[in-house]
Structure 1
Amino acid sequence: MTDENEDSREQGVEFGSLADELEDEEYPIDKAALLERYGDRELELEGNTTTLRTVLESQGETTYESADDVRRSVIGMVSDEAIGRQNYSDRGGSTESEEGTEESV
């Protein structure tokens, strides 16, 4: 059995069950129809929540060709809100103290 949210987080945005609903939607769909159906659905960002309407409302009139198209638009519109702490990486690399001790080769 898989967790329903296992594949619904992309680039810091948790789509939850909306991800499956977007996959089941018929495309193309314009922004007005998309927001009428799903605008009040919540998206989780790093330590915050927002609605699909809030994220996409400032985007101009557009027609989405697929669920991937909707997800890409959301990810592009949330920008820094979804990444958590800015200028911070937990993927390794050097720290300030290590940077001072590195030698040129």
Structure 2
Amino acid sequence: MTHPDDTREHGIEFGGLISDLEEESYPLSHETLLSRYGDRELGLINDQVTLREVLSPENEQQYEDTESVRQAILNMVGDEAVGRERYSDRGGNATDDDPTESESF
């Protein structure tokens, strides 16, 4: 079971969706997933989107478990889930890791 305070992953705030999906019966068709949860909102860094907006409506996928739904969401959310591009909280400068930057000695 997911801890209620631990619902953000890779820039996506899942809220109660994951815990609801953990209680779901599987396998679950894509159509059924969207009919039950399509209006549920996912929080991105600066936006809210519905599950239906993230997952393609014409998908024929069948989900075998909560993890397969979670992975589909992570795969389909684009850069809008990422905060500042090329930002790292690990110290140093983002350009330090840029292979296109040349060093001068």
Question: What range is the shorter-chain TM-score in?
Answer: 0.7 to 0.9
Q: What is the deviation of 1:89?
A: 1.8
* Superposition RMSD in Å: 2.2
* In structure 2, C-alpha distance between the alignment counterparts of 1:56 and 1:27, rounded to whole Å: 18
Q: What is the deviation of 1:91?
A: 2.3
Q: What is the deviation of 1:93?
A: 2.5
Alignment match, 2:72: 73
- Counterpart AA for 1:14: E
Q: Work out whether 1:88 is the aligned partner of 2:93.
A: no
Alignment match, 2:99: none
Residues 96 and 10 of structure 1, relative CA distance in 2, 3 Å threshold: closer
Q: Work out whether 1:48 is the aligned partner of 2:47.
A: yes
* In structure 2, C-alpha distance between the alignment counterparts of 1:41 and 1:94, rounded to whole Å: 38
Residues 34 and 95 of structure 1, relative CA distance in 2, 3 Å threshold: closer
TM-score, length basis structure 2: 0.80
- Counterpart AA for 2:38: G
* In structure 1, C-alpha distance between the alignment counterparts of 2:53 and 2:88, rounded to whole Å: 27
* In structure 2, C-alpha distance between the alignment counterparts of 1:48 and 1:59, rounded to whole Å: 24
SS for the counterpart of 1:50 is: strand
SS for the counterpart of 2:42 is: strand
Residues 87 and 57 of structure 1, relative CA distance in 2, 3 Å threshold: same
Segments of 5+ residues of structure 1 without an aligned counterpart are: none
Aligned residue pair count = 97
Residues 59 and 91 of structure 1, relative CA distance in 2, 3 Å threshold: farther
Segments of 5+ residues of structure 2 without an aligned counterpart are: 97-102
Alignment match, 1:24: 23
